[in-house]
Structure 1
Amino acid sequence: MKVPLKWLADHVDLADIPLADLVDRLTLGGLEVSGVRLYGRPAPPGLKAKQIDPGPVWDADKVVTAHVQKIDKHPNADKLKLVTLDYGPAEPKTVVTGAPNIAVGTSGQKVILGLRGSRYFFEEEDKATKQTRKVIKTLEPRALRGIDNDAMCMSNFELGISDEHEGIILLEPDAPVGVPAADFLGDAVLEIDVLPNMARALSMIGLAREVAALFGKTARVPSPEAQTTGESVAGKVGVEIADPALSARYSAMLIRDVTVGPAPGWLQRRLTYAGMRPINNIVDATNYVMLEWGQPLHAFDYDVLVRRAGGQTPTITVRPAKDGEVLKTLDGQDRTLTPETLVIADTAGAIALAGVMGGLETEVTASTKNVLLESASFDPVSIRRTAHRFNLFSEASTRFSRGVHPEVVLPAAKHAAKLMAETAGGTVLAGVVDNYASPVPTQVVMLKRSEIRRLLGIALPDAEVERVLTALQFSLLKTDDGWKVTVPLTRLDIQAGAADLVEELARVEGYDRLPATLLSGELPPQRNNRPLVLEDTVRDVLANAGLQECVCYSLTAKDRETKLGLAGPWVELVNPISPERSAMRTSLLTNLLEVVAENLKHADAVKLFEIGAVYLPKPGDRLPAEPRRLGLVLSGRRSAEAWDDPQGTPRPQFDFYDLKGVVERLAAALHLPAVTFRTTRDVAFLHPGRAAELVVNGRAVGSFGELHPKVAAAVGLAERTVLAGDLDLEAILAAVPERFAYTPISEAPPALRDVAVVVDEGTSNEAVVAEIRAAGANLLANVRLFDVYRGDSIPAGKKSLAYALTYHADRTLKDTEIDQAHKKVEDRLKHVLNAAIRGKE
């Protein structure tokens, strides 16, 4: 939010507050000043905030206001003019200008005169880049087509006010003559990052309340009343609200016989400094009041509404849009609507997206004579949803989506009507058509001194509590143990009762001013948080394996999860920030795969993992289960490109066994007991022939494998091999033993034996290894598969698996012991798996 300080000073006295102090106190009070824009003024001492787009300083004796006495034609140039100016006690000065917005033979205009030595912006071409750039120049005398010239009439561009340089600045008729431009036009504009919980500060009046509380002053809130005619607005327009939950209040006023044209200079300047583009006196009045009160408004062409109503009294209805209804908005776009979109409509159809953008047909144009002024309160969730759906973010939708109290509707409407009457020459009809369908009850909070002491650690004097809360417009009634506090209608953020009020006290007093207080007792000794420690171990193991940790949104959309074959149910949000974030995830892979797809556009390999909660609805319980899961994804080249890679050979890509190796490494590091792997065809998002389950102590704790080609295509990874895993982290960590046995390295030599078995094609490696280990018992130290063979010597439907077996003990084994143990292995394989031992058929 951009805050011109001259405008803010209308509502709170800033005369004795240095700019640097104001910036610091606002920032510490929760309103971070990200920068300061100075118009015509030098940076004051002690200013810590960044100076935004610094421009020329307008010297008091060189840049002044002036009055045009006459305008003559230049004798040597058709497009140039000679302007004679009175700028105070000195002799009138004649300057040469080519400004198109003044004409020969006219006089009386008020302008800004730059004298010799004044600094101004100039646009020149950078010879190196051939692009134009702004530079600050000093005005020096020079001849223009034979006429000496040592001064100039300034434009907004030259003074650094805006990029407009087609004409010179024309001030309002009552502007003083001969005063420094820095006094008349100069200003300091704060750029404040207003957080959602500080939405009340999205207005000059709201911000004035904050400044008043921070500096012990009193905010000035206007009570505008427009002068009205004897004619009443009653019977000229009707207002209906279909659902009070979507619109608590809608008010309409009628201003007749306006003349649409440019707004006065003072109003245009304030809007420009506040970051808004002046349009015309009607629209500018609504924007001005929005910035002053925080209440967005909209102006309709009343005669168009009457025409749409067939010459009858128009009726304005706030309702959900009809499915498929089309509205052409002010930007010329045809918007197809759904019932989730709140609209302003008449009997002929929608005329505006409520709180977001008006319709093109009913906009105020140069020919508009009668204006219907809208001031309303809308449901923040509905406005936020509409703005996100159509990607229409504006000053108005920002304020509505954060909450505007219905009680601000009427004073803002009266202020805007008053401005329109003053700047457009209109007359305001008496009364307001006001449909207040859902009044908001007044909130009363009990604030106890003991609660302040408990939350802040110190006691605040009663006088200070009353000063701060009164400055913030709270009403207080003192009680024996504290205060009964009535919350002002503008404070929609007060939801937690006394805690919110104590937060206000701490914020205004200054967190930096609160004294440090020792804890009342000693801290208890720290106890080991085993799940947290084990999670960190998992992170370390995976990071050492070359994977990077990724933290994704917990929010997703149902259609994204269905691409993975997930069938829900889901925890759905009532007020999603966007359709893409409308449900809580039930798998980590949904968003993780999106990250992979995006990163593979810029890299040839991605190795990611994520640890986080998923959200599973529980029948009969309002809160979902939140089990923690581990997601793994590998895709792309197995190793980085190297200079000695064989020419013409394909680069090795990650495959199933790379991911299996990562899982095995994790299981080994955690000392998981009885780890096995078994094939699975039941995981919807995995390739049915290239997927496995991790089994710990006989229980499946997750699955991994190659992503199903259809799923890969659906998530933007078509024609790529993607390995993904989804593991139950809680079950894995629960299986980690508290203690595990350590076996020292034996000094005795190991004994090596090989065994090659012919088994059915469907027999897994894990099944064979399990039987070998069962038979080898304590003497068998290691089993390693080193060959898989299918060929002419192997019957159809069979395969040969060759294993290297290591027998080891804490003593030297005898050959007879080794032979007996090895024979047990072979016998068990033959009897249990019906295997044939190669070489011993």
Structure 2
Amino acid sequence: MRVSYKWLKDYVDVTVSPGELADRLTLSGIAVEGVHELGAGIERVFTGKILNIEPHPNADRLTVCAVTTGGPENLQIVTGATNIRAGDVVPVAVEGARLAAGLVIKKSKLRGVESRGMLCSGQELGLDPKTMPADQAHGIMILPPETPLGLDIKPVIGLDDAILELDLTPNRGDAMSMVGVAREVAALLGQKLRLPDIDVDETGDGIEGRVKIDIKDTELCRRYVAKLFTGIKVGPSPGWMQERLRAAGVRPISNIVDITNYVMMELGQPLHAFDYDTLKDGRIIVRRAGEGEVLVSLDGVERRLNGDMLVIADPGGPVAVAGVMGGLATEVTENTRNVLLESAWFNPISIRKTSRVLGLRSESSSRFEKGIDLTGCLRAARRAASLLAEMGAGQVASGAVDNYPAPHVPKTIILRPDRIEHLVGTAVDSDACREILTALEFGVQKNHQGLMVTVPGHRPDVSLEVDLIEEVARMHGYDRVPTTLPYGPTTQGARTREQSLAMKVKDTMASLGFREVITYSFTSQEVFNKVNLAPESPLRNVLALQNPLSEEHSVMRTVMLPGLLEVLRRNANRRVTSLSIFELGKVYLSRGDAPLPEEKQVLSAAAMGGTSRGWNKPSLEKDFYYMKGVLESLLAQAGISGTSFEPFKDDPSYHPGRAARLTAGEQLLGVLGEVHPDVVENYELPGRVVAMEIDFGIMASLAGKAGKYRQIPRFPGIERDLAVVVELQVPVREIIGVVKKSGGNLLRRVELFDVYQGEQVQQGFQSLAFSLTFRAEDRTLTDDEAAGLINTIRENLAKKFGAQLRS
């Protein structure tokens, strides 16, 4: 946003320099990127008149001009410009003049003809060619014929001005206008805001019956105001208006178009002018575009529209893309005699999406995107009408069509001054708050809670108490907030208990030869059939996605095994037949009528193939005992004890005779075992697969503290082997439990090293061989002590299980 310092003074008495004003605005939250003095460095350039033009005697592309600047002597100037003629008033740089690029003008000869100055273009005077009329963008600047001669060119074309470049945040659409910035300046400097005088001379016939506005989508267009101008005389706008538009970075085009741009820059309300005679039946229809509908925009490009875009149409079709660009068919031209003026409110999100899709960004769309004043549409239309009447460019039809289906309801917010000190760190009393907000044109009344503040229409970004606190703080001055050190309880950065355990679990699994994978949290209903889940299984009660990427990822997973099996299948298809993988992730379980599921963290793992033990030993198949050993190592690293493995036949995803569940007291930690052959076949895997699924939340609750140092034994131990024969149905873990209890504190290790069934053992029985290690902390055990413990263990096994010592 470019703000003219000179133009700004029309609305507020600015008592500080442009540089100081830039600093004050920046400190108040409206950042000023830079201040540009337009006429800096330009000297001895005056208004002059071309008296005569003759061909150059020695050059076809040069002419010799006789020019007067009002003095007693005419100047002879040689130029190559082609857009000039006798009688034109132009900027003349005389001898010794300095131009914007630092060029110094001296008397010289061009092809043998003396030249005592230079006719200047707008670019040579520091003006942006984009803001110049098309015929003058690269030619000599032509001034109005009534311009007096001999004047310093800077005040004539607005170079005695400074431009403040604002870098506005998206919420400050109100500051994208001269009046909006003036309102801020008035509040900062304690001055009074002077709004432009809107005195409309409506001399034309009434608009009633000649214009009809029909809003089909009131969500995207909340208000549409139309004014009608008749007897239009299209021509150039006055010099003062062109000067201000150039200062704002806008190229003057014609009086009608310039009026719409001027009001937009002044009030922040984009306007659009239609050639009324090109509209069918004088009717405006505000609607969504039809899919594939086409409009030729003002730049002559055919635009293909879609159903998300809002268009302005007549009964024959679209005539403009709402808030972005008008259509070529209804453009105001030199032949236009009647104009319909649009002043409307369009949905910011809709305008942003439309301009992005069409690749069109304009001053108009940028204001609609940030949000404009819904209450200011009629005021802007009347301001344009007053300017039209003032310059005598036509007649203003009396009245206006104002389709306003949902009038603005002012928002009221309670502001508690004590909250300001709590949030900002400095106290601002109630009276000061009231003064600041009143200066910004908020309505303020006192009540028992504090201040009751009514938000004006030009501040749609203010909706909460904290927004009001920000307004008070920035106008009070952020520089007045005392500097303090941050305070509060300090804590040492560290992982939570669960995070630490997760890291340990991942490290342990990696050390055991497993690779971590991350599978999709989204899955499909079909995977439940592939892993044999029963139709009535609660795991089939899933959370479905409203906008799934595909049918394969349409629901949230309730079990992690299918994802791991899919990873194994993809690797097997690429000839990787031995692989161990794990994932620590979440499943999403239904909670009945609750809208959101329970998110449970699960550790899952799967393995297939064998483990290599070197060239001279056969590989071991990854079976149930392999996964059981992995899980036991994991539990040991996590400091979890008191767990047990129990046969488990109720999970249809696992082999009924090769699966177990892991429990700790009454709590079920998870399941492990060989995957059911039918499931393996469903996933087209080449051999046996073992897997486990552990509830990480329960695991974390059982995890012990870090292990403590234990001194290396000073005394030797005694090792003994014990082989007993028991019935097949006796669980080994129960036997080990009796052995440990019988051995007491002197029994340090129990390890099963052999299981035998055969001719030497009675049918229905099995032989179990255990390696036992005994050791005392304070002495060397004797053989008699070890033998006594062995006898106690044997007797207790015989009593409990009928175990017999194998001979």
TM-score, L = length of structure 1: 0.61
- Residues 154-190 of structure 1 show CA distances to partners (whole Å, capped at 9, x for unaligned) of 1122223124752112233454543433444243222
Structure 1, gaps ≥5 residues long: 42-56, 122-135, 546-557, 571-610, 631-663, 676-695, 702-726, 749-773, 782-806, 812-841
What's the counterpart of residue 320 of structure 1?
288
With 413-422 and 506-515 compared, the bigger mean Cα shift is at 413-422
- State the Cα distance separating 1:79 from its structure 2 match: 3.6
What's the counterpart of residue 113 of structure 1?
93
What's the counterpart of residue 341 of structure 2?
373
The yes-or-no answer on 1:329 pairing with 2:309 is no
The yes-or-no answer on 1:260 pairing with 2:234 is yes
Which residue identity is paired with 2:116?
D
What's the counterpart of residue 168 of structure 1?
140
Which residue identity is paired with 1:201?
A
The yes-or-no answer on 1:144 pairing with 2:110 is yes
- State the Cα distance separating 1:87 from its structure 2 match: 3.3
Q: Is the Cα–Cα contact under 8 Å of residues 73 and 81 in structure 1 kept in the other structure?
A: yes
Q: How does 1:576-725 map to 2 (within 5 A)?
A: none
Q: Is the Cα–Cα contact under 8 Å of residues 617 and 625 in structure 1 kept in the other structure?
A: yes
The yes-or-no answer on 1:97 pairing with 2:79 is yes
Paired residue secondary structure (1:137): coil
Which residue identity is paired with 2:96?
R
Picking from 193, 203, 213, the partner of 1:229 is: 203
Q: 1:537 and 1:286, CA in 2 relative to 1: closer, same or farther beyond 3 A?
A: farther
Alpha-carbon distance in structure 2 between the residues aligned to 1:700 and 1:217: 77
Alpha-carbon distance in structure 1 between the residues aligned to 2:332 and 2:38: 32
What's the counterpart of residue 12 of structure 2?
12
Q: How does 1:122-133 map to 2 (within 5 A)?
A: none
Which residue identity is paired with 1:172?
P
What's the counterpart of residue 707 of structure 2?
741
Q: 1:419 and 1:100, CA in 2 relative to 1: closer, same or farther beyond 3 A?
A: farther
Paired residue secondary structure (1:231): coil
Q: How does 1:534-545 map to 2 (within 5 A)?
A: none
Paired residue secondary structure (2:252): coil
Alpha-carbon distance in structure 1 between the residues aligned to 2:187 and 2:586: 42
- State the Cα distance separating 1:209 from its structure 2 match: 0.7
What's the counterpart of residue 35 of structure 2?
36
- State the Cα distance separating 1:81 from its structure 2 match: 3.3
What's the counterpart of residue 537 of structure 2?
none
Alpha-carbon distance in structure 2 between the residues aligned to 1:166 and 1:147: 24
The yes-or-no answer on 1:21 pairing with 2:7 is no
Which residue identity is paired with 2:362?
S
Alpha-carbon distance in structure 2 between the residues aligned to 1:195 and 1:615: 40
Q: Is the Cα–Cα contact under 8 Å of residues 589 and 600 in structure 2 kept in the other structure?
A: no
- State the Cα distance separating 1:235 from its structure 2 match: 1.5
Q: 1:235 and 1:71, CA in 2 relative to 1: closer, same or farther beyond 3 A?
A: farther
Q: How does 1:423-434 map to 2 (within 5 A)?
A: 425-434=393-402
Which residue identity is paired with 2:106?
E
Q: Is the Cα–Cα contact under 8 Å of residues 71 and 107 in structure 1 kept in the other structure?
A: no
Picking from 112, 135, 152, the partner of 1:180 is: 152
Which residue identity is paired with 1:504?
E
- State the Cα distance separating 1:613 from its structure 2 match: 12
Q: Is the Cα–Cα contact under 8 Å of residues 314 and 347 in structure 1 kept in the other structure?
A: no
Q: Is the Cα–Cα contact under 8 Å of residues 569 and 617 in structure 1 kept in the other structure?
A: no
Q: Is the Cα–Cα contact under 8 Å of residues 189 and 273 in structure 1 kept in the other structure?
A: yes
Q: Is the Cα–Cα contact under 8 Å of residues 112 and 169 in structure 1 kept in the other structure?
A: no
Alpha-carbon distance in structure 2 between the residues aligned to 1:700 and 1:280: 81
Paired residue secondary structure (1:62): strand
The yes-or-no answer on 1:198 pairing with 2:172 is yes
Q: Is the Cα–Cα contact under 8 Å of residues 72 and 83 in structure 1 kept in the other structure?
A: yes
Paired residue secondary structure (1:419): helix
Q: 1:739 and 1:517, CA in 2 relative to 1: closer, same or farther beyond 3 A?
A: same
The yes-or-no answer on 1:562 pairing with 2:536 is no
Alpha-carbon distance in structure 1 between the residues aligned to 2:126 and 2:289: 44
Alpha-carbon distance in structure 2 between the residues aligned to 1:38 and 1:618: 68
- Residues 69-111 of structure 1 show CA distances to partners (whole Å, capped at 9, x for unaligned) of 44444444444333344435674433222222211xx215243
Paired residue secondary structure (2:203): strand
Q: 1:140 and 1:449, CA in 2 relative to 1: closer, same or farther beyond 3 A?
A: same
What's the counterpart of residue 245 of structure 1?
219
What's the counterpart of residue 759 of structure 1?
none
Which residue identity is paired with 1:33?
V
Alpha-carbon distance in structure 2 between the residues aligned to 1:33 and 1:668: 62
- Residues 207-229 of structure 1 show CA distances to partners (whole Å, capped at 9, x for unaligned) of 11111112222222113233222
Q: 1:108 and 1:277, CA in 2 relative to 1: closer, same or farther beyond 3 A?
A: closer
- State the Cα distance separating 1:515 from its structure 2 match: 3.0
Q: How does 1:297-316 map to 2 (within 5 A)?
A: 297-305=271-279, 309=280, 313-316=281-284
What's the counterpart of residue 392 of structure 1?
360
Which residue identity is paired with 1:347?
P
What's the counterpart of residue 661 of structure 2?
none
- State the Cα distance separating 1:540 from its structure 2 match: 13
Q: Is the Cα–Cα contact under 8 Å of residues 445 and 485 in structure 1 kept in the other structure?
A: yes
Q: Is the Cα–Cα contact under 8 Å of residues 114 and 154 in structure 1 kept in the other structure?
A: no
- Residues 107-126 of structure 1 show CA distances to partners (whole Å, capped at 9, x for unaligned) of 152435354241343xxxxx
Q: How does 1:761-776 map to 2 (within 5 A)?
A: none
Paired residue secondary structure (1:416): helix
The yes-or-no answer on 1:416 pairing with 2:384 is yes
Paired residue secondary structure (1:431): coil
Q: 1:174 and 1:185, CA in 2 relative to 1: closer, same or farther beyond 3 A?
A: farther
Paired residue secondary structure (1:562): coil
Paired residue secondary structure (1:171): coil
Alpha-carbon distance in structure 2 between the residues aligned to 1:615 and 1:404: 44
Which residue identity is paired with 1:87?
T
Paired residue secondary structure (1:361): helix
The yes-or-no answer on 1:502 pairing with 2:501 is no
The yes-or-no answer on 1:359 pairing with 2:327 is yes
Q: Is the Cα–Cα contact under 8 Å of residues 504 and 638 in structure 2 kept in the other structure?
A: no
- State the Cα distance separating 1:407 from its structure 2 match: 1.3
Q: 1:30 and 1:96, CA in 2 relative to 1: closer, same or farther beyond 3 A?
A: same
- Residues 714-742 of structure 1 show CA distances to partners (whole Å, capped at 9, x for unaligned) of xxxxxxxxxxxxx9999699579462325
Alpha-carbon distance in structure 2 between the residues aligned to 1:154 and 1:626: 76
Which residue identity is paired with 1:296?
P
Count of residue correspondences: 612
Picking from 157, 180, 194, the partner of 2:123 is: 157
Alpha-carbon distance in structure 1 between the residues aligned to 2:252 and 2:598: 51
Alpha-carbon distance in structure 2 between the residues aligned to 1:615 and 1:278: 62
Structure 2, gaps ≥5 residues long: 131-136, 511-544, 558-583, 603-630, 644-663, 673-692, 715-736, 741-747, 752-771, 777-807
Q: How does 1:473-492 map to 2 (within 5 A)?
A: 473-479=441-447, 482-492=450-460
- Residues 630-668 of structure 1 show CA distances to partners (whole Å, capped at 9, x for unaligned) of 9xxxxxxxxxxxxxxxxxxxxxxxxxxxxxxxxx9xx99
- Residues 598-642 of structure 1 show CA distances to partners (whole Å, capped at 9, x for unaligned) of xxxxxxxxxxxxx999999999778x7897999xxxxxxxxxxxx
Which residue identity is paired with 1:381?
I
Which residue identity is paired with 2:110?
L
What's the counterpart of residue 468 of structure 1?
436
The yes-or-no answer on 1:66 pairing with 2:40 is no
- State the Cα distance separating 1:418 from its structure 2 match: 3.4
With 323-332 and 204-213 compared, the bigger mean Cα shift is at 323-332
Q: 1:453 and 1:255, CA in 2 relative to 1: closer, same or farther beyond 3 A?
A: same
Q: 1:77 and 1:421, CA in 2 relative to 1: closer, same or farther beyond 3 A?
A: farther
Percent identity of equivalent pairs: 39
- State the Cα distance separating 1:335 from its structure 2 match: 3.7
Which residue identity is paired with 1:25?
R
- State the Cα distance separating 1:374 from its structure 2 match: 0.5
What's the counterpart of residue 576 of structure 1?
none
Q: 1:699 and 1:256, CA in 2 relative to 1: closer, same or farther beyond 3 A?
A: farther
Alpha-carbon distance in structure 1 between the residues aligned to 2:598 and 2:11: 50
- State the Cα distance separating 1:403 from its structure 2 match: 1.6
Q: Is the Cα–Cα contact under 8 Å of residues 3 and 191 in structure 1 kept in the other structure?
A: yes
RMSD (Å), alpha carbons: 5.5
Q: Is the Cα–Cα contact under 8 Å of residues 258 and 421 in structure 1 kept in the other structure?
A: no
Q: 1:615 and 1:191, CA in 2 relative to 1: closer, same or farther beyond 3 A?
A: farther
Alpha-carbon distance in structure 2 between the residues aligned to 1:22 and 1:810: 88
